[in-house]
Amino acid sequence: MNWRITPAGPLHGRIEVPGDKSITHRAYIFGAVGEGPTVVTGPLRAEDTDNTLRAVVHLGVQVEDLGEKVIINGTGPSGLREPGDVLDLGNSGTAVRLLAGLLAGCPFMSILTGDASLRRRPMARIADPLRSMGALVDGRENGNLLPLTIRGGGLTGIEYHSSVASAQVKSCVLLAGLQASGRTVFREPSLSRDHTERILRRMGVRLVEGGEGLSLEGGQVPRGCGIDVPGDISSAAFFMVAASTVRESDVAIGNVGVNPTRTGIVRLLESMAADIEVRERTDDHEPVADIRVRGSRALQGIEVPPEWIPSIIDELPLAAVAAAAAEGTTVIRGAAELRVKESDRIRTTVQMLRGAGITIEELDDGFIVHGGARVRAACFDSGGDHRIAMASAILSLMAGSPSEVTDTSCVSTSFREFPETLNALAPGSVTEHS
Ligand code: S3P
């Protein structure tokens, strides 16, 4: 599938975006290891999260899929069964790394794999701590690459200092720690998204946060609970940037998750002088807000503080799009993790901007964008990366004539409704063709 993107003028209207991907994965996986029903309302219905749901079913968990609501009837870790086949998690790093933590505690063998992109992504970051806890983990390149085989059970808690700020590594170690004997301590260089900590507490798990890091005692069984999934800020971000860069736009996005470990894109746009208003509605287990963005001001380039990076990691290709529209230079450093996402997102972001005639310098751990030049219509290739496909579409809205984005079927991993949503705000912006 390909898109033709026609710059159709200002974006106007009110939208909602699909459920948060990170929270949906966790609701399914923690629901599976919990005891009693976990009722997930408004989950993301996309390939990544559907793969997690399917994996949970293959582990013997009884699931009621009512569409808008999914009920995971967990029976505790001892209720999980050896899967009859390889678990294929498609494109999802979160699914594979969290499930590895879950399966490391289970006294049977499982095999995890994924698509070509996921099979290139590093797994030593989870295989190492899981082995230290006593799981037998193997895979290509000594367990760094999928497929991974895991023979779990008999784990002992560890103290683990991760060298990367990664919520996937943190969640993996804590999931294994729940099933281990003794205490597990996890420390990371800076705080990554904290949805796992919030969900564990909601499910009644005692999790201590102190100078030594996060710790929990093994043997605690999470209690099933209700989880309302807010809209995904990583999906809302495309329209926030579009409204900030296309003059005279006025876009309201309702029911967006604004967990402070995820709102780097809001901080970035505010610092670039965008006209953005965040009105908090509720803060049950996850804060939720309505966001309004108007295209009333010229954006200014900024130097992004490296400590913001974990809270904006998935939005950095889009940050480059905002930077292309801004006056002056925008510097992003400290983001080497981008090299091991669904694509090498430093490389693919640089290609995307250069394709549109924007000057961008590639760094080992980020990029420097020289903004303010005219955006040229172009043919952008997603390279199979959903966020590059959608960021290219937003960049195309700033050009003077139509562009093409090729290989867009990858968008169904996270946001199938993206073309309709963009067309609702700016009719005629996207047409799909094969
Ligand atoms: C995620 C964590 C981040 C993020 C990914 C989702 C999660 O990855 O990039 O899209 O749900 O835990 P890392 O944990 O590798 O930083």
Q: What domains, with CATH codes, occur in the chain?
A: 2-19+230-433 (3.65.10.10), 21-228 (3.65.10.10)
Cα 59 to chain centroid, rounded: 24
pLDDT tier for residue 68 given thresholds of 50, 70 and 90 = very high
Question: What average pLDDT does the structure give for the chain?
Answer: 98
Whether pLDDT at 358 is above 90: yes
What per-residue string of b and e applies to 168-181 under the rule 16 or more CB within 10 Å gives b?
bbbbbbbbbbbbbe
Q: How far is CA 40 from each of CA 77, 119, 206, 232, 254, rounded to the nearest angstrom?
A: 19, 29, 22, 15, 19
Q: Give the H or E element holding residue 352.
A: helix 345-355
Instruction: Give, using CA atoms, the residue closest to atom 11 of ligand 1.
Output: 22
Give the number of other Cβ atoms within 10 Å of residue 141's Cβ. Answer: 9
| 309-324 per-position pLDDT tens digit | 999 999 999 999 999 9
Q: What would you measure as the largest C-alpha separation in the chain, in angstroms?
A: 62
Classified as helix, coil or strand, 431 is strand
Q: Quickly tell me which residue has 């063998």 as its tokens.
A: 109
CA of 94 to the centre of ligand 1 (A): 6
Q: How far is CA 167 from each of CA 66, 195, 279, 386, rounded to the nearest angstrom?
A: 29, 8, 26, 20
Classified as helix, coil or strand, 4 is strand
Q: What are the DSSP calls for 203-219, one per residue? A: TT--EEEETTEEEEETT
CA of 378 to the centre of ligand 1 (A): 30
This prediction has a pTM of: 0.98
Catalytic status, residue 364? no
Whether pLDDT at 207 is above 90: yes
Q: Indicate the residue type of 373.
A: A
DSSP state of 272: T
Which residues lie below 8 Å from residue 342, measured CB to CB, with a gap of 6+? Answer: 91, 93, 117, 384, 385, 386, 387, 410
| Residue 314 CB–ligand 1 contact under 6 Å | yes
Whether pLDDT at 282 is above 90: no
CA of 152 to the centre of ligand 1 (A): 24
Q: What are the DSSP calls for 287-346, one per residue? A: EEEEEEEE--S--B--BPPGGGGGGGGGGHHHHHHHHHHSBEEEEE-S-GGGGGSSS-HH
| Residue 197 CB–ligand 1 contact under 6 Å | no
Sheet holding 35-41: strands in order across?
Answer: 62-65, 69-75, 35-41, 226-228
| Residue 168 CB–ligand 1 contact under 6 Å | yes
| Residue 381 CB–ligand 1 contact under 6 Å | no
Whether pLDDT at 284 is above 90: no
Residues 115, 314, 381, 385: which is the catalytic one?
A: 314
pLDDT at 283: 78
| Residue 313 CB–ligand 1 contact under 6 Å | yes
- Averaged pLDDT for residues 402-409: 98
CA of 341 to the centre of ligand 1 (A): 9
Give the number of other Cβ atoms within 10 Å of residue 363's Cβ. Answer: 15
- Token readout for 68 is 């808008």
| 4-26 per-position pLDDT tens digit | 999 999 999 999 999 999 999 99
